[in-house]
Amino acid sequence: MTDQTSILSPADRVTELVARALGQSRLCAESLSDIVIPELPPTRRLCGEHVLRHLRSRSLFTTHVLDDLESLIRQLNSEISEGSYEVCQPHEGHPDRAYMEVILSPKAKRLNQALERIRALYSTIHSVLDAVEAQRISARLTIDD
Strand partners, 100: 88
Q: What's residue 139's pLDDT? A: 80
CA 34/CA 48 separation, integer angstroms:
11
Output the CA–CA distances (angstroms, integers) from residue 105 to 18, 47, 53, 76, 83, in the order listed: 35, 22, 28, 14, 5
Q: What is the H or E stretch that residue 30 is in?
A: helix 10-31
Tens-digit pLDDT string for the chain (145 aa): 445 556 767 778 889 999 999 999 999 999 999 999 999 999 999 999 999 999 999 889 999 999 999 999 999 999 999 999 888 888 787 777 888 888 999 999 999 999 999 999 999 999 999 999 988 888 887 665 5
Q: What's residue 11's pLDDT? A: 79
Q: What is the H or E stretch that residue 103 is in?
A: strand 94-104
